[in-house]
Amino acid sequence: MKNLRIKLLISLIAFALILVAVIFYVNRQILTEDIKKQEVMNRTLIENHILRDMQTVDNADFYFDKNLSDKMEEVLRKLITYYKENPYIAKWDLQKVKSENEMDVYILDQSNTVIYTTFEKDKGLNFSECCHRFSTLLDERRASGQYYTDGIDISTTTGGYRKFGYLATPDKKYLFEVGIDLLEDPVFQTFNFAKTADYLIDNYVDLLEVQTINAGGVFFDDSKSRKITVNDQSKMFQEHFEQAKKTMKPTEYQREFKNGYIEKYRFLPYEAEAIRGESSKRVVFVKYGNFTEIRALTKNTKQFRGLLFIALGTSFIMLLVINKLLSKTIHLATYDPLTNVYNRATYIRKMDKQLRLRKTNQPGLLLLDLDNFKQVNDRYGHVEGDKILIETAKTLKQEVGKNGFVVRFGGDEFAIVLYDTKDEHMEKLANSILEKIHHLRYADNVSIDRWSVLSVSMGGAICIHPDESERSLFERADKALYQSKNAGKDRYTSYVKDPTNEKS
């Protein structure tokens, strides 16, 4: 019965585990799919917002900066006029020009190197070395002799938001340039893309970073002490930047870290509606994390543990309920209802188990009959007969102890299975049982007459062959029992003949 309870408990736990695991797996798959869909929706909203706002900024700059552009052209043409009168630019007071016009002044030679400027960080900058495409554009502007102004641009050395105007000297020897910091421009302050990026980062947990990169690979970022370029990033970053710029299609890659944390890097190509110089093409870099997914899955795991705990608790409760409902049935299926010793079905099961252990143990079988038991029922009634059977079973259990178990086959037929024994031990046990039964005849004066008509016949056999079956062992013990009966009853006989030599 104990083994049945254990098996039942294991079955209930296994069922609970499988059920919870299936529910957890299906729920987690649905949750993961929902999270992925939501991530895609959020990214679409974020990226559309980013590109739309960037276009808005460019359009605002295009439509509202005519005064600024005209002012830049006016300053440059004054410089050209001054150059015609004073070609020795080394003697020019550029700081005075800056103070009068609130613009930085740059003078580039024919190699596109900044030889004089009021913006000290750019002094000595050679565009033909750092920015080949832009240098080619400067050569074209120098050759045309016309005035040019770009859209929203950045400082090559600092990454700050700037706007520049260009005009070459008539002799094409120099290219004059003026620049202004856009952070101080009212239009740019109104349509500030950086504010949009900060707003989106604050409102979306998984959005970690938004950066704009110009076609030359320089980040739009004036918050750093030095400019940041694509060349400062990883090889993978550089490859995806170039791919997005070349194909004008979004591209991405991701990195996986510990504990399931993933960062996804997206590159969004962008081109202003109004083409104004090299700054019209950019790549927007967006970095995402998966904090929402991690939190949701962590919560899901906690729910799974709670559900598992409930399932295990329910399994134990169900075991108690089932055990209560079936305990009587299980007991009846295992024990003899009158004497409370094992029945024949249990005997078969337990004996098979003992025979499987015969390599280490030598099991024995002792059969016992109460001779003339029918006379007790006929003379004194079945109630008295039942009392004798109960007392006999109690005596047998006391004698066997933990060395084996007692079985009632039916009527007055009992058996004792010994886990590991020898002939002398079985004989000693049988004699002790005979002595105890004889003692019962005189233990109770009321029962003397009932016991006086009884005797006990016993026969035993030991499993001495590795291939012997339960049936063969039983047949040998049964033969020994009938030898006792034929020899006058009230005795024990051991059957020692090897079962393999039965036919010889």
Interval 251-262: pLDDT, tens: 999 999 988 899
What gap in Å lies between CA 3 and CA 26, rounded to an integer? 34
pLDDT given at position 62: 66
What burial letters (b/e) apply to 154-174, b meaning 16+ CB within 10 Å?
Answer: bbbbbbbbbbbbbbbbeeeeb
What gap in Å lies between CA 245 and CA 269, rounded to an integer? 6
Total-model pTM: 0.54
Structure tokens at 290: 């998966």
Q: pLDDT (tens digit, 9 = 90+) per residue, 298-349?
A: 898 888 888 888 888 887 787 777 777 777 777 778 899 999 999 999 999 9
**In which band, very low, low, confident or very high, does the pLDDT at 50 lie, cut at 50, 70 and 90?**
confident
Instruction: Tell me the average pLDDT across 266-272.
Output: 90
Instruction: Tell me the average pLDDT across 130-156.
Output: 84
Share of the chain above pLDDT 90, in %: 45
- Least confident piece of the model among 347-361, 377-391, 408-422, 426-440: 347-361
Look at residue 504 and tell me whether its pLDDT is greater than 50: no
Query: Looking at per-residue confidence, does 251 or 69 come out higher?
Result: 251
Q: For 161, phi and psi rounded to 5 degrees?
A: -70, 120
Query: Looking at per-residue confidence, does 274 or 287 come out higher?
Result: 287
Q: For 476, phi and psi rounded to 5 degrees?
A: -70, -40
441, 370 Cβ separation under 8 angstroms: no
3-state secondary structure of 112: coil
Share of the chain above pLDDT 70, in %: 88
- Least confident piece of the model among 192-201, 270-279, 326-335: 270-279
Q: How many residues does the chain have?
A: 504
For the stretch 140-146, contacts whose Cβ atoms lie closer than 8 Å and that sit 24 or more positions apart, written own/partner, are: 141/166, 141/168, 141/175, 142/110, 142/168, 142/172, 142/175, 143/168, 143/172, 144/168, 145/170, 145/172
For the chain, state the CA radius of gyration. 51
Q: How many CB atoms lie within 10 A of CB 485?
A: 17
**In which band, very low, low, confident or very high, does the pLDDT at 178 lie, cut at 50, 70 and 90?**
very high
pLDDT given at position 226: 65
Look at residue 22 and tell me whether its pLDDT is greater than 80: yes
pLDDT given at position 503: 47
Q: Give the residue among 203, 226, 227 at the shortest CA–CA distance from 213.
A: 227
Q: How many CB atoms lie within 10 A of CB 347?
A: 21
φ/ψ bin of 382: left (φ > 0), alpha (ψ from -120 to 50), beta (otherwise): alpha
Alpha helices in 362-466 (DSSP H): 373-380, 382-400, 423-443, 448-452
- Least confident piece of the model among 169-173, 360-364, 420-424: 360-364
Look at residue 475 and tell me whether its pLDDT is greater than 70: yes
Instruction: Tell me the average pLDDT across 377-389.
Output: 90
